[in-house]
Amino acid sequence: MSDIISPRVLKGFRDALPALEISRKEIQRSLEKSFENFGFVPIDTPALEYREVLLGKGGGETDKQVYSFQDHGGRDVAMRFDLTVPFARFMAAHAAELVLPFKRYHIAKVWRGENTQRGRYREFYQCDFDIVGTDCAAADFEILFMIKNSLEKLGVRGFRIHLAHRGIFNAFLEKLGLEQEGVEILRTVDKLPKVGEDKVMELLEPLTGSDKGALILKYIRAEKTPAQTLEKLTNLVGENDPSLQRITELFRLVEQTEIEDRVILDPAITRGLDYYTGVVYETFLTELPELGSVCSGGRYNNLAGLYTRQELPGVGASIGLDRLLAGLEELDRLSGKETTTRVLVFNMDDHLMGHYFYLAQELRNQDIGSEIFLESKKINKQFQFAERKGIPWALICGDEEKKAGKVNLKNLVTRDSHEAITLAEAVAILNK
Amino acid sequence: MSDIISPRVLKGFRDALPALEISRKEIQRSLEKSFENFGFVPIDTPALEYREVLLGKGGGETDKQVYSFQDHGGRDVAMRFDLTVPFARFMAAHAAELVLPFKRYHIAKVWRGENTQRGRYREFYQCDFDIVGTDCAAADFEILFMIKNSLEKLGVRGFRIHLAHRGIFNAFLEKLGLEQEGVEILRTVDKLPKVGEDKVMELLEPLTGSDKGALILKYIRAEKTPAQTLEKLTNLVGENDPSLQRITELFRLVEQTEIEDRVILDPAITRGLDYYTGVVYETFLTELPELGSVCSGGRYNNLAGLYTRQELPGVGASIGLDRLLAGLEELDRLSGKETTTRVLVFNMDDHLMGHYFYLAQELRNQDIGSEIFLESKKINKQFQFAERKGIPWALICGDEEKKAGKVNLKNLVTRDSHEAITLAEAVAILNK
């Protein structure tokens, strides 16, 4: 084998080296723990599905981003490009086996062959959590409350969840006689953070005229307090509007659970998607607003209509795991650890190797990650190894110490040394 | 949208419902914890790679099982079919950035379009762990020791790790003048557990003659103790054989760490693959030997030769996660839980919903998984919900209890009831 093949990866793909993968796993485990604590259970679906199932019967221009091909059996298949469509298919297939309302989470990779921009990959993680089978306000609130709790558990400090309701905006447009232009107006309004009020007004005018355009701009402005914003919306759409009642109910729960500092009633959050039919959420890091929303979602009134006639209303959100990881990295909040090892057991003599396995295992049994320097090398090489890997402690035991039932423990950062102590004493120091 | 698309999945693929996925995650988390405690770090590689990188430049008949296609850029790509080839590519690409010896684990899905037998899927998990960059005996032993510890941590009780060394068998064949027939003999000997000694002898005779065939059968028989097997092997190949010295060294470590009851020196374990060059391992559940090996591996002297001229010797093993899961299910060792929730907070009155969020969160803060019954439904519906989901406790709080700062806690299994207690008292009962 003299011809070497270049060990390259595809454009838009990357290897995860230990420092990245350790951080990613820390985040994923924290989220899973949060979700499970709320009674959300994990599911999984295949990475590969029938093309028709993922893309529907049409499947035209918009599907260029999807990796699809014919398998060995001549079936048209595609790799999943999100976790929402497979979840809809999953619910249609399994609703009868599940107890409703069904709360699930799913953290997995998806693939999109889109053009790669800075920080965008063709393979990335999605992290979705949903409550399906109920249309109640408490479910809308639970998703909001979970976003808050999950991010706080992750150690994310400054963030705000922006909340709005598609139905209020629709009722408002109806009052203005602008239902027909709704989609176009939504798209225009969505540009507000990027282009500013003047530009949005300029784009709205041909659609709505200048008076109604001004009212739309007034509508989407967040007032100083949620109460003031609610009052303004009530004046604009009338207090009997059911969407307004829903959002009022949500803010009552926000107050009762004392999370007002985390939530903003922000009518400008309209989420370009036609998909949502009720409340919508977006979440921004206060220190990195330009990162965009790290957790978005909302209510949809018919999840699985493509696959079943059973109506399945739901509400959910999705954490942009890669975006959040990038944000936390920028804020220097990731451990950046290249190892989970706390103690390196030095190899002072190959004949003591059995004893080193015993010592390391005793530490592991106390939940102290430990590894053994396996090779016969000079002691300065072993110190170098620990230093390069960022292992903070050295446990050193030669023939003499073994006979005396003792070890030496060295902190490689502070250079503190504890000589001829028992293993129990070493554990006590390591647990301090 | 009146045409319904059938929510089916591809043949050989399946959805993971909560009971399966909860068990799978429990196993994965336990393994990850074990590996990390040994200083093994996680990595990840893309699901999709250049076809040439995964399959080499030939790529003929044997690659039929691989999902491969042309992407939008006209590149020949393939989905990974194992974690070994991507790891070899990874090491060739990143060896300079890593500290050697490098210890990694990787738990991820792979895909093979093979014909589906009972219990075999086209999408399944692999779980690999390896030490790369050293040829020392302690590394061979560490993999063995990790197999033992990881399986014990998983709660797997009866199992034996079968150990052998390819080099000893090769030296033995050389003595017999049968090096040329080596591969064919290995394949034949591998059939022993399935077809028995007589059939193997019948197959060996045309290759080796009957005298040498009898010696080969003598060679591969495990004696009563490792010491007796070692003695027999020494007689057959001579004590200066380096492979024999290696296995002797490993058994010294097996004795020193007192894990003799877990390890069998079994010369019949030859692992059909040409890939391994040193020690080889297979692991069988004593209660389910017919399941086959649940953890196999060995030493290879040149991991990444396809991609780099740097020699990277290594040793590792792979746990058959799906097979192990099937085995544990058969032995009734899986929790089979459909929920991780321990307490259902009942909804006695929508106006108390804010208080329910407070109560549930207090329980979660004590690591007691809790969910709220979100909808307005009769209390018997709420009991039914808890029962169908297998939630063991009910926390019930109406207006009166709220005013008194009390709750009622009911065990839904034993029907024990604790009325008008404080939340702290409830937590104490739940933590008992």
B289, B159 contact by CB (below 8 A): no
Distances A189 to A108, A169, A218, A254, A276 between C-alpha atoms, Å: 32, 11, 12, 26, 16
**Is the ipTM here above 0.85?**
yes
Angle in degrees, CA B159, B160, B162, rounded to 5: 150
CA dihedral B92, B96, B98, B104 (to 10 degrees): 10
Q: Domain count of chain A?
A: 3
Residues A5, B39: C-beta atoms closer than 8 Å: no
Q: Which residues of B touch A55 (CB under 8 A)?
A: none
Report the residue of A1, A2, A10, A153 to disrupt the B interface, i.e. the one with the largest count of B CBs within 10 Å: A10
**A39 → closest Cβ in B257, B353, B371:** B371
Residues A253, B353: C-beta atoms closer than 8 Å: yes
Span B37-57, average pLDDT: 95
* pLDDT profile of chain A (432 residues), mean per 10: 86 95 96 97 98 80 81 94 96 96 97 75 95 97 98 93 92 90 84 86 91 90 89 91 95 96 89 78 93 93 91 95 90 86 97 97 97 97 96 98 98 96 97 92
Report the residue of B1, B3, B10, B344 to disrupt the A interface, i.e. the one with the largest count of A CBs within 10 Å: B10
For A386, nearest residue in chain B (alpha carbons)? B99
Residue A1's pLDDT is 47
Average pLDDT, chain B: 92
Has residue A60 been placed in a domain?
yes
Q: How many angstroms away from the CA of A14 is the closest CA of chain B? A: 6
* Same domain flag for A41 and A173: yes
Residues B75, A10: C-beta atoms closer than 8 Å: yes
d(CA B80, CA B63): 12
Question: What percent of chain B stands above pLDDT 90?
Answer: 75
For B97, nearest residue in chain A (alpha carbons)? A17
Q: Which residues of B touch A90 (CB under 8 A)?
A: 7, 15
Residue B188's pLDDT is 87
Crossing angle for the helix pair B226-237 and B166-175, nearest 10 degrees?
40
Among the three residues B297, B330, B363, which one is the final residue of a domain in this structure?
B330
Of the candidate ranges A78-87, A191-200, B353-362, B406-415, the one whose mean pLDDT is the lowest? A191-200
Residues B123, A46: C-beta atoms closer than 8 Å: yes
* Same domain flag for A309 and A201: yes
Q: How many angstroms away from the CA of B10 is the closest CA of chain A? A: 6
Sheet holding A41-42, edge to edge: A41-42, A102-111, A123-132, A314-319, A295-300, A279-285, A159-165, A263-265
Q: How many angstroms away from the CA of B43 is the closest CA of chain A? A: 5
pLDDT surpasses 90 at B297: yes
* Same domain flag for B24 and B122: yes
Show the tokens assigned to B424. Answer: 């702290």
Q: How many angstroms away from the CA of B288 is the closest CA of chain A? A: 28
Comparing CA positions, the residue from A391, A354, A154, A3 lying closest to residue B249 is A354
Length of chain B equals 432
Has residue B9 been placed in a domain?
no
Q: Which residues of A touch B53 (CB under 8 A)?
A: 5-9
Residues A17, B372: C-beta atoms closer than 8 Å: no
Q: How many angstroms away from the CA of A202 is the closest CA of chain B? A: 36
Q: How many angstroms away from the CA of B1 is the closest CA of chain A? A: 7
Segments forming the whole domain that contains residue A421: 343-430
- Enclosing H/E stretch for B425: helix B423-430
Among the three residues B267, B302, B330, which one is the final residue of a domain in this structure?
B330
pLDDT-derived band at B333, boundaries 50, 70, 90: confident
**B370 → closest Cβ in A14, A39, A350:** A39
Beta bridge partners of residue A282, listed in sequence order: A162
**B253 → closest Cβ in A24, A37, A353:** A353
Three-state secondary structure of chain A: CCCCCCCCCCCCCCCECHHHHHHHHHHHHHHHHHHHHCCCEECECCCEEEHHHHHCCCCCHHHHHCCEEECCCCCEEEECCCCHHHHHHHHHHHHHHCCCCEEEEEEEEEECCCCCCCCCCCEEEEEEEEEECCCCHHHHHHHHHHHHHHHHHCCCCCEEEEEEEHHHHHHHHHHCCCHHHHHHHHHHHHCHHHHCHHHHHHHHHHHHCHHHHHHHHHHHCCCCCHHHHHHHHHHHHCCCCHHHHHHHHHHHHHHHCCCHHHEEECCCCCCCCCCCCCEEEEEEECCCHHHCCCEEEEEECCCCCCCCCCCCCEEEEEECHHHHHHHHHHCCCCCCCCCCCCEEECCCCHHHHHHHHHHHHHHHHCCCCEEECCCCCCHHHHHHHHHHHCCCEEEECCHHHHHHCCEEEEECCCCCEEEEECHHHHHHHHCC
Among the three residues B309, B330, B351, which one is the final residue of a domain in this structure?
B330
d(CA B410, CA B429): 11
Select the more confidently predicted residue: A316 or B273: A316
For B35, nearest residue in chain A (alpha carbons)? A369
Report the residue of A1, A2, A3, A9 to disrupt the B interface, i.e. the one with the largest count of B CBs within 10 Å: A9
Interface size A-B, in CB pairs within 8 Å, comes to 303
* Same domain flag for A236 and A96: yes
d(CA B425, CA B281): 52
pLDDT surpasses 80 at B60: no
pLDDT surpasses 50 at B58: yes
pLDDT surpasses 70 at B81: yes
Q: Which residues of A touch B57 (CB under 8 A)?
A: 3, 5
Has residue B13 been placed in a domain?
no
Residues B3, A57: C-beta atoms closer than 8 Å: yes
Residue with tokens 């999408």, as numbered in its chain: B123
Has residue A13 been placed in a domain?
no
**A305 → closest Cβ in B1, B42, B389:** B1
Residues A18, B10: C-beta atoms closer than 8 Å: no
Residues 6+ apart with CB under 8 A from B218: B232, B236
**B145 → closest Cβ in A29, A104, A357:** A357
* Same domain flag for B303 and B369: no
Residue B162's pLDDT is 95
Residue B119's pLDDT is 61
Comparing CA positions, the residue from A280, A288, A298, A297 lying closest to residue A323 is A288
* Same domain flag for A206 and A73: no
* Same domain flag for A112 and A87: yes
Has residue A347 been placed in a domain?
yes
Residue B412's pLDDT is 96
**B90 → closest Cβ in A15, A371, A385:** A15
* Same domain flag for B77 and B199: yes
pLDDT surpasses 80 at B270: no
Find the CATH number of the domain harbouring A360. 3.40.50.800
Residues A15, B361: C-beta atoms closer than 8 Å: no
Length of chain A equals 432
* Same domain flag for A164 and A212: yes
Residues A25, B32: C-beta atoms closer than 8 Å: yes
Has residue A69 been placed in a domain?
yes
Distances B429 to B340, B387, B423 between C-alpha atoms, Å: 18, 20, 10
The full DSSP string for B9-49 is --TT---B-HHHHHHHHHHHHHHHHHHHHTT-EE-B--SEE
* Same domain flag for A273 and A417: no
Residue B281's pLDDT is 94
Has residue A238 been placed in a domain?
yes
* Same domain flag for B238 and B378: no
For B37, nearest residue in chain A (alpha carbons)? A369
For B254, nearest residue in chain A (alpha carbons)? A354
Q: Which residues of A touch B89 (CB under 8 A)?
A: 7
Find the CATH number of the domain harbouring A181. 3.30.930.10
Select the more confidently predicted residue: A42 or B326: A42
Q: Is B265 helix (H, G, I), strand (E, B) or coil?
A: strand
Q: Which residues of A touch B103 (CB under 8 A)?
A: 371
Q: How many angstroms away from the CA of A368 is the closest CA of chain B? A: 7
* Same domain flag for A207 and A67: no
pLDDT surpasses 90 at B249: yes
Residue B222's pLDDT is 83
Q: How many angstroms away from the CA of B382 is the closest CA of chain A? A: 12
Has residue A10 been placed in a domain?
no
